[in-house]
Amino acid sequence: MKRLPVFLFLAAALFTLLPDQAAAQCKGFARRICKLDLENYIHDGNYHAAILTEGEEAELYKTFYAGQDYRIAVCGSELMADIEFRVMDIQRNVLYDNSEHDYISTWDFRLESSQQLMIWVRVPSPDQGYEPESGCVAILFGLSGR
Amino acid sequence: MIRRISKRSMAALALLLFLFLAIAGCTGNCSRQERERDFVIDLPEDSPEDLSKVRQVFYSLPSPVETAIILKTSGAVFDEDLLNPVENVSRYLTNRSMALNLGIYTTNLSYASLFDQAQICIDYMDAAKRLADNLGILDAVDRFTLERLEENISNREVVIDIVSETFMNSSSFLQESNREPVAAMLLAGGWLEGLYLALNLIDEDELEHHSMVNIIIDKKLSLEIVMLLLKQNSQNEDVAELMGEMGRIEDLYRKIEIERSPIEVDRSGEDGVTILRSSSSARIERDVFRDLKSTVNEIRNSIVS
């Protein structure tokens, strides 16, 4: 019986670590899987990843600079539905929509003048009768550095 | 009795081990699908059914690596005198000074790496490691990273990759351990250093024609994001104070007007690269440049001293 408090303490400590474990998985996912999609582009080092559930949306605001070649990589776990993303200007005009391109996970572009753009990401809702899945979704940016 | 307790302990340990393995999943040599399966998390039973209205918002600042690339492609030269000396590292004892200066040192490191400054890279990586360690950031720069840097110091691509990883490790660790205010200050420090370098690499007499002037003007766009990011964390006293200082820069940027035409999407670019065509016009007056430079230098020097 004397060991019971020790066991409970260990179990409590283990479950306290659960959120960190999920977060660490997200970081690992961004680094080990999503970063590969940047291929020859230089990862800018920024980290944007979160656990999203099917049906959820996220928005990311970023300034992109004139004359640079950029690649956006948006990826989520393969067991989740295809991740949908759109790139919009500040008036929310759609500049790119990956649902029109077979949900490809990357988009390469260059700007003639610097702009603040918004990347809208959505994990499509599951089919009726299916439980929504949750998983990591990461948005990474690469530059060609040319 | 001893044997019975030992059996129970073994059972308890086995249960803990099972739970840990179930949670930790595969960490070694797994297939791609097995690895991806790890990232699917079972929903708690009480999840809301209608999730379509749930939305997360992120603000992304130019990272130190992006800042350095933009400086270099705009014709910047390397000037070691502009860097925050590594000898200052022992002065930074508060979370605020450590976070801001980690951003500053990482920008200095990125800047040096793009100009192939081998020894400076090693020294600044070491300074960044000391600050990351003092901030409690685990493994931002480990022994393996330093060895890899030294072994590949003449390979610019690898060096930049290491700098990028280091920055990602630091900011992600802070975000994931619920230390967003510290992460925001780290990012703001890097942003401020990029502006400081750009302002001090241009001579006032070159304002009319220097290509780097556009970097200074375009910082107005990312300053909006800096302020939003800081506002998100303004319940923290250090962040609130930093917001006040950045507000002085924001006031000066209000004097710079940028006009832009709507964006036209051109998909005829080479190698599948889409070109977002638009034009912009902006001008920075000499007195505004002078005020901006002196304000940024004052704020930056108060952070590094």
Amino acid B242: pLDDT: 97
Interface of B with A in 133-162 (CB under 8 A): 157, 160-161
Best mutation site among A10, A80, A113 for testing chain B: the one with the most B CBs within 10 Å? Answer: A113
Amino acid B50: pLDDT: 42
Amino acid A131: pLDDT: 83
Amino acid B34: pLDDT: 41
> Using the beta-carbon criterion (under 8 Å), do B218 and A48 form an inter-chain contact?
no
Best mutation site among B66, B73, B166 for testing chain A: the one with the most A CBs within 10 Å? Answer: B66
Number of H helices, E strands in chain A: 2, 9
Which tokens is A145 given?
């550095």
In tens, the pLDDT along B237-247 reads 999 999 999 99
Kindly write down the DSSP assignment for every residue of B28-59, as one continuous string. SS--HHHHHHTTEEPPPTT--S--TT-EEEEE
Q: Does B50 touch chain A (CB under 8 A)?
A: yes
CB A44 within 8 A of CB A142: yes
Instruction: Tell me which amino acid residue B21 is.
Output: L
Which tokens is B198 given?
């750009």
Which tokens is A5 given?
């408090």
> Using the beta-carbon criterion (under 8 Å), do B221 and A116 form an inter-chain contact?
yes
pLDDT tens for chain A, 146 residues: list them.
555 555 555 555 444 444 455 666 788 888 888 999 999 999 999 989 888 998 899 999 999 999 899 999 999 987 777 899 999 999 999 999 999 999 999 999 999 999 999 999 999 888 888 888 888 999 999 998 66
- Compute the count of residue pairs across chains A and B with CB atoms less than 8 Å apart: 229
> Using the beta-carbon criterion (under 8 Å), do A58 and B222 form an inter-chain contact?
no
Best mutation site among B15, B34, B42, B60 for testing chain A: the one with the most A CBs within 10 Å? Answer: B60
**CA atoms of B136 and B51, how far apart (whole Å):** 35
Count of domains observed in chain A: 1
CB B221 within 8 A of CB A116: yes
- Residues of B within 8 A of A139 (CB-CB) are 58
Picking from A42, A51, A63, the nearest residue to B225 by CB comes out as A63
Residue A44: which domain range? Answer: 3-143
In tens, the pLDDT along B161-182 reads 999 989 988 888 888 888 999 9
Q: Which residues contact A15 (CB under 8 A, 6 or more apart)?
A: none
Amino acid A64: pLDDT: 96
Amino acid A32: pLDDT: 84
Q: What is the CATH number of the domain that holds A82?
A: 2.60.120.380
Interface of B with A in 246-265 (CB under 8 A): 260, 262-263, 265
Amino acid B116: pLDDT: 92
Interface of B with A in 19-38 (CB under 8 A): 19-20, 23-25, 32-33, 35-38
> Using the beta-carbon criterion (under 8 Å), do B176 and A23 form an inter-chain contact?
yes
* Alpha-carbon distance values, B301 to A59, B85, B101, B159, B294 (Å): 35, 12, 11, 28, 10
Amino acid B207: pLDDT: 86
Strand partners, A60: A119, B58
Picking from A48, A113, A134, the nearest residue to B260 by CB comes out as A113
**CA atoms of B40 and A22, how far apart (whole Å):** 9
Instruction: Tell me which amino acid residue B70 is.
Output: I
pLDDT tens for chain B, 305 residues: list them.
334 445 555 555 455 444 444 433 333 333 444 433 333 333 333 333 443 445 788 999 999 999 999 999 999 999 999 999 999 999 999 999 999 999 999 999 999 999 999 999 999 999 999 999 999 997 778 888 889 999 999 899 899 999 998 998 888 888 888 899 999 999 999 999 999 999 999 988 888 888 889 999 999 999 999 999 999 999 999 999 999 999 999 999 999 999 989 999 999 877 889 999 999 888 899 999 999 999 999 999 999 99
Give the N- to C-terminal CA distance of chain B in Å, as an integer: 65
CB A93 within 8 A of CB B263: yes
